[in-house]
Every structure is written in structure tokens, then in C-alpha cells.
């Protein structure tokens, strides 16, 4: 199913299921959280043309975690910034690297993105000059749990998936992230698609071989989801890739996230990190597509990320007022 929260003509928000070019009205509701956590029954109502509705954030985001799960992306970034060293750091093939983002700035597709300001270097504060996109999937937790969650039970807690654009201010990030990691360069906005697609809608395929074998708590048959993806910038498709290229899968992410006893809450959003594939036109960010030479995003630029069966996530850059 493709489930979201919509309104029509300024009326109160309602739950809806997307079917082709219509939205089936499933009753009043401002969030999918009760449906995701309790399996709340949904009533089949009238059909509304898809083009007549306004979409809202589909669920209340509890926590937001962004991983670093694409081998090609991590390798590209390592080669770019550590050209004389091994591109992957020693931990990368041994655990799903990630960081906690800011749940309060997750916004629905179509929301304008205001250019972030921050420190870009010593005595240098101002608007980001290297504003970037990141093509990702985001897995949404339905069933809560007290950790740890075994890897072979992890998918029981995943309700569905959204497309994610984890906007990134590369110049702010480069100055601030050592030694503790991303902060203001990432926390200003993360856009998601307007409906959650349940896992049963996705095509599961064998995943990338994992070498060395993961530790026991992460060990599972490698799998991925076959989802063709693309990036459109100002009307031009600049990249095409596929989610099947991801190295670490969502079951391993859930198992690792909770391995220290951390809880899962309904509405937790677990993003994959940038998804890149083999080849120069299969990269999921501008920093990779231009090899850090730019151009990066200018005010007025519009980015649309698309995923087969998932819809799109759209955002336009505007200056901060």
C-alpha cells in the first residue's frame, strides 16, 4: 500500500491510500503513526483525484538516523578526500556507519528549502556555497521495541519506506564535522516523499556480498530492494541508479542501532545514506557527480528525486530571508 496524509480545499487532514491516479479516503487523521504501530483498521471511503489533494508529512518523526550504506558512495568520497589512502576506513565493512540527525526538520516533498547559514571556516560565517543533495531511501519504523532487536526479527518492526533527500551543506559540514561528525551542515532540512510504501510492495533481491563476514549480530543473507532511482535537476535527469547497490541492508541497520539497548519508536526514520551505483552517471549527490568541483545548488534550483513505485520528493532552493 501507499499511505499518506492529505487535505482538500483547506479541509481537515485525512488518511489516504494512493491507487493509480486517485486517492482513496480512509478517514480523518493527521498522522499514520497509529496505523503503523497498532494496525489501526482503515475504512474504505470515496475516491479523490490525485491532482486535487495537498500532501502533508505522513507520520510524526520520532528519531532520525542517517546511515552510510552505499559502497560506491563511500568509496567515491574516500577517493576524493583521501586520495593517497585506502578509500574506506577500517570500520566501514564491519558495521553500518551512521549518525543521529534532527527529526524536527524533516519536511514533506514540495517544501521550499532555505539556504542554510553557518561557519564555513575560520572567522567565516555566511550562506552555504556548496549546497548539495543526497538521494536516499528512508525506512519507517512501525512496531516499537526495546533493544536489542535480533537481525532476523528486524523487518517485523519496519512498516515501509519513503524517498529521502538529505540536503547537505558541504562547506559547513567540512569545517565542523571533525571530530564528532555532521551537525549544522545536515540538520537544516531533510525532505521525504508524501506517502509511505509498505514493504510488501517492494521487490527483494540478493544483496552485495559482504566481506569480511559481519559479526554474528549482523549476520544475515545479504539482500536489497530493486528500486530504480533518478535525480532530476531543473528538468534534466542527471543521474540514474538503483537501491539494489546498497551494501548494508535495513535489517542490519536496525540490529546495529539497537545492539547497545537503544529503543525503536513508532515513526523512527532510518535513512540509507546516499545511494550511488557503478559508473559516473549513477552517483547520488552533486559532490560525486562533479567530483567536488561544482556547480552546487543555486537559489531557484529545483531538485526532484524519483523512485519506481515510490513517487517523488521535490524541493526548490530559496535564499534565507
Mean pLDDT across the stretch 38-67?
A: 91
Domain boundaries, the chain: 2-56, 64-318
pLDDT at 22 over 90: yes
Per residue in 194-234, pLDDT tens?
999 999 999 999 998 999 999 999 999 999 999 999 999 99
Percent pLDDT > 90 in the chain is 94
Q: Phi/psi at 209 (nearest 5 deg)?
A: -60, 140
Which of 243, 231, 250 has its CA nearest to residue 297?
Answer: 231
Task: Given the residues 73, 157, 245, 256, select the one marked as catalytic.
Answer: 73
Q: Are 26 and 47 in contact (CB under 8 A)?
A: no
Mean pLDDT across the stretch 92-107?
A: 97
pLDDT at 147 over 90: no
Give residue 321's pLDDT: 78
Residue with cell 491516479: 21
Which of 59, 301, 290 has its CA nearest to residue 170?
Answer: 290
Give residue 40's pLDDT: 63
Which of 76, 14, 73, 79 has its CA nearest to residue 48?
Answer: 14
- DSSP for 166-178 reads --EEHHHHHHH-T
Q: Degrees (nearest 5) of the Cα angle 224, 144, 181? A: 65
- Which position has the higher pLDDT, 42 or 222? 222
- DSSP for 83-150 reads TTS-SS-TTTTTS--EEE--GGGEEETT--EEPPEEEEETTEEEE-SSEE--EEEEEEE-S-BPSPPP
- Partners of residue 128 on adjacent β-strands: none
Give residue 38's pLDDT: 79
C-alpha cell at 197: 510504501
pTM of the model as a whole? 0.96
Q: Are 272 and 284 in contact (CB under 8 A)?
A: no
Percent pLDDT > 70 in the chain is 99
Residue with cell 521495541: 145
- Partners of residue 108 on adjacent β-strands: 192
Q: How high is the mean pLDDT of the chain?
A: 96
Q: Are 285 and 73 in contact (CB under 8 A)?
A: yes
Active site residue 245: no
Calpha distance 73→278 (Å, rounded): 9
pLDDT at 156 over 90: yes
Q: Are 28 and 39 in contact (CB under 8 A)?
A: no
Q: Are 32 and 18 in contact (CB under 8 A)?
A: no
Q: Are 162 and 140 in contact (CB under 8 A)?
A: yes
Name all contacts of 78-85 with Cβ < 8 Å and 24+ positions apart: 80/287, 80/288, 80/291, 80/292
pLDDT at 90 over 90: yes
pLDDT at 54 over 70: yes
Architecture of domain 2-56: Roll (2.30)
Per residue in 253-293, pLDDT tens?
999 999 999 999 999 999 999 999 999 999 999 999 999 99
Mean pLDDT across the stretch 115-119?
A: 98
Give residue 242's pLDDT: 98
C-alpha cell at 91: 570500520
Which of 85, 100, 88, 17 has its CA nearest to residue 55?
Answer: 17
C-alpha cell at 49: 483525484
What is the CATH number assigned to the segment(s) 64-318?
Answer: 3.90.850.10
- Partners of residue 16 on adjacent β-strands: 4, 25
Amino acid at each position: 500500500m501507499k499511505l499518506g496524509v492529505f487535505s482538500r480545499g483547506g479541509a481537515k487532514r485525512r488518511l489516504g491510500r494512493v491507487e493509480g491516479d486517485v486517492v482513496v479516503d480512509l478517514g480523518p487523521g493527521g498522522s499514520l503513526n497509529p496505523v503503523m504501530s497498532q494496525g489501526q483498521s482503515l475504512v474504505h471511503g470515496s475516491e479523490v483525484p490525485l491532482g486535487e489533494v495537498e500532501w502533508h508529512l505522513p507520520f510524526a518523526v520520532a528519531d532520525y538516523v542517517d546511515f552510510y550504506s552505499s559502497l560506491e558512495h563511500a568509496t567515491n568520497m574516500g577517493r576524493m578526500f583521501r586520495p593517497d589512502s585506502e578509500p574506506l576506513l577500517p570500520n566501514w565493512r564491519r558495521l553500518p556507519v551512521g549518525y543521529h540527525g534532527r527529526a524536527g526538520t524533516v519536511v514533506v516533498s514540495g517544501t521550499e528549502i532555505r539556504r542554510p547559514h553557518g561557519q564555513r571556516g575560520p572567522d567565516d560565517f555566511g550562506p552555504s556555497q556548496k549546497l548539495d543533495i543526497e538521494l536516499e531511501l528512508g525506512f519507517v519504523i512501525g512496531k516499537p521495541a526495546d533493544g536489542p532487536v535480533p537481525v532476523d526479527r528486524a523487518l517485523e518492526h519496519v512498516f515501509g519506506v519513503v524517498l529521502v533527500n538529505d540536503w547537505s551543506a558541504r562547506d559547513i559540514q567540512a569545517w565542523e564535522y571533525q571530530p564528532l561528525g555532521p551537525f549544522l551542515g545536515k540538520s537544516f532540512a531533510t525532505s521525504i516523499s508524501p506517502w509511505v510504501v509498505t514493504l510488501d510492495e517492494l521487490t527483494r533481491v540478493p544483496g552485495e556480498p559482504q566481506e569480511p563476514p559481519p559479526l554474528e549480530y549482523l549476520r544475515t543473507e545479504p539482500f536489497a530492494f530493486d528500486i530504480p532511482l533518478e535525480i532530476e535537476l531543473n528538468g534534466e535527469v542527471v543521474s540514474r541508479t538503483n537501491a539494489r547497490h546498497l551494501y548494508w541492508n535495513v535489517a542490519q541497520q536496525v540490529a546495529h542501532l539497537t545492539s547497545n539497548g537503544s529503543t525503536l519508536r513508532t515513526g523512527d526514520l532510518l535513512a540509507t545514506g546516499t545511494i550511488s551505483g557503478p559508473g559516473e552517471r549513477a552517483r547520488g549527490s552533486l559532490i560525486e557527480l562533479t567530483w567536488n568541483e561544482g556547480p552546487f545548488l543555486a537559489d531557484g534550483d529545483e531538485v526532484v528525486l524519483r523512485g519506481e513505485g515510490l513517487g517523488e520528493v521535490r524541493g526548490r532552493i530559496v535564499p534565507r530571508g
